[in-house]
A and B are shown apart, each in its own frame.
Chain A
């Protein structure tokens, strides 16, 4: 409601420190990105190589899950303080989402 937020200017030392921290954080982001690219490449390569489906299926789903976790925790800043509410509601959503997908691959009455 009120936009009155008191901001105290940072001192030169704090400022330098924050800058360095942010730059270090950015390196972490790039590392996360490299991992995502790697996972994507592995997933595509595994499918292209034609390994048995029962094996690749779970593996690429796992890779997708890890990749998404990297997006959430690094790109979308879940590693920072104050993201608890976001995490709680997203995990709840993921639970509902999982239940729904499970339902639709098991009990929708395909008579086969």
Chain B
């Protein structure tokens, strides 16, 4: 059982180790690999979209296929790429940042991952099983109920499974941060990435249940003959719009808040200066989280909710600019007077500020309900949310890939190649999306598969496609960078950037599976920096003497629980047209429930690493 025993292992044993692991560092690897896989799939879909729109009257894709690709691009990127990749960094870093030996519920951490992965695979299987969903990532009920085939069923069931995983992970991070902080790590000493993870997890907790219910309504309506959205039977499709956006808007903040946190870490590290306005950053994060729940109807200004509702949501939306602006200024003030090192992560951070501000400003434009009637469903919207998501979240993910690579893999990605990657991606990004603002203002609607020539749309669309190719080159360079680094195999060692401030840089690399031999004592904000400045060679002071460490056991049950739901989803989908569907549905759920009952009846006390073994173990910093 002990991971100590599995140090030397073959390929099969490694697979088994990853299937059963409950170690947050290994689960971070899993999230990173799976998230990257879906990111590449979503990226290929994006390239197909841009190829189709490179010239007017193109017939590279048919209209129906275009709808499927566009739907899957959005769904994949939001649910299966951006969120898991953020979870990868949360898993890799947050427990270390707060001085914990693992997350609060290691078993649930693993369960969350497998639910996400199998849900994502289920969704993508639609390509091979009669067609993908084609009603847009918002899947408005009035459209999606009438979509033939099983595409929308794949959407609803797949997101249901992976959404459950996300909810579980969210609760896990909340409890970890509430209960597992090392002595001295008060709330107001937590690194900003931990804070943003905390608030984003709280948003997950409250935003995912409405999505779950909305998806259940969709599943019931499409597969079990209920009538939630069927207007001839008294249903109401506006309900779906509300449920989707009550989830969907907080979702944007679930993505972007951790990105803010990652950049906050990067700014402080490479400006070699304490983050400016720490408490106002925390306050702004909480305020954004709160306001994020009160603005969903700005996605529905043109639905016809009436002037009162539109006015309220308009004002609330504009209010979000205030805390966001606070953050931007704090980052600028952190740089002011700092001794800045332009590393690859810092380069991304510098590129992030103007890009995200541009996305924020167009957001304020749309917050004005009368103007939104003009902009709604045009390419202006497409440009806006790509500026926010790519300019905010994806840049943060790339920056952190470089920044945290040494923590996750004990290697440094090549800096020169990293900077080249940045310029390709950054220029390509602005080329792609900047001109889409004008396309939108000129009246080009979103979600159309082609456009007519000589309406002034040709050139900007071509530019946009060229930009997309540059982004693709950038991503490819990053992958090449990873491969080169892996082949070279140079060890990075502890704190390779030399300017680490927080506890994740204070642990030895490769990090032992128990993280901290002795629980650290935190004496202030940026604890590792404090110890460094005081000349403490060990980098930590300890809160407890060396003693036995209690660790959780690995388990295959999370995988089996997820597999059961995966199987039952096929049953739900085919139960109307086949005789076996119902049995598969019940059997799959039965398998999950059985695994849960085994989990509940079998005592799992974990095991202890003994003090003596800890002292023998080399590589620690004692």
Contact = CB atoms under 8 A, between A and B. Distances in A.
Interface of A: 1-4, 85, 89, 92-93, 96, 99-100, 103-104, 106-110
B101 A108 contact: no
Contact of A3 (B210, B239, B293, B550): B550
B297 A89 contact: no
Contact of A108 (B102, B210, B239): B239
A109 B305 contact: yes
Contacts of B239: 104, 108
Given A1-B180, A96-B206, A109-B236, A103 B242 contact: yes
B206 A107 contact: no
Given A92-B206, A93-B206, A110-B236, A99 B242 contact: no
B153 to A, nearest CB: 25
A81 to B, nearest CB: 16
A108 B550 contact: no
Given A85-B178, A89-B202, A99-B294, A4 B550 contact: yes
Considering residues A99, A107, A108, which has the most beta carbons from chain B within 10 angstroms of its beta carbon? A107
Contacts of B605: 3
Contact of B246 (A1, A100, A109): A100
Contacts of A85: 178
Contacts of B304: 109
Contacts of A109: 236, 238, 303-305
Contacts of A99: 293-294
B108 interface: no
Contacts of B205: 89
B337 interface: no
Interface residues of B, number: 27
Nearest to B312: A107
B247 to A, nearest CB: 11
Contacts of B549: 2
Contacts of A104: 239, 242
B306 interface: yes
Interface string B582-619: 00000000000000000000000100000000000000
Nearest to A110: B236
Contacts of B306: 107
16 contacts: A1-B550, A4-B548, A4-B550, A89-B202, A93-B206, A100-B210, A103-B242, A103-B297, A104-B239, A107-B305, A107-B306, A107-B309, A109-B236, A109-B304, A109-B305, A110-B236
B158 to A, nearest CB: 25
B206 A108 contact: no
A79 B497 CA distance: 49
B100 A1 contact: yes
A50 B309 CA distance: 35
Nearest to B242: A103
Given A1-B100, A3-B550, A108 B242 contact: yes
Interface string B388-417: 000000000000000000000000000000
B308 to A, nearest CB: 9
A1 to B, nearest CB: 5
A2 B550 contact: yes
Interface string B22-66: 000000000000000000000000000000000000000000000
Interface string B205-242: 11000100000000000000000000000001011001
A104 B213 CA distance: 14
A60 to B, nearest CB: 25
B303 A1 contact: no
Nearest to A97: B206
Given A100-B210, A103-B242, A107-B305, 15 more contacts: A1-B550, A2-B550, A4-B548, A4-B550, A92-B206, A96-B206, A96-B293, A99-B293, A99-B294, A100-B246, A103-B246, A103-B297, A108-B242, A109-B303, A109-B305
B238 A92 contact: no
Nearest to B103: A1
B343 to A, nearest CB: 34
Interface in B519-576: 548-551
B242 to A, nearest CB: 6
Pairs A-B, 4 closest by C-beta atoms: A2-B550, A107-B305, A109-B238, A108-B238
Given A107-B306, A109-B305, A92 B202 contact: yes
Residue from B100, B180, B242 with most neighbouring chain A CB atoms (10 Å): B242
Contacts of A110: 236
A79 to B, nearest CB: 21
A85 B176 CA distance: 13
B102 to A, nearest CB: 6
Contacts of A107: 297, 305-306, 309
A2 B608 CA distance: 9
Contacts of B303: 109
Nearest to A3: B550
A3 to B, nearest CB: 6
A58 B29 CA distance: 54
A18 B102 CA distance: 35
Contact of A1 (B102, B202, B293, B297): B102
A103 B246 CA distance: 10
A3 B305 CA distance: 54
B458 to A, nearest CB: 39
Contacts of B100: 1
A85 B309 CA distance: 33
Contacts of A96: 206, 293
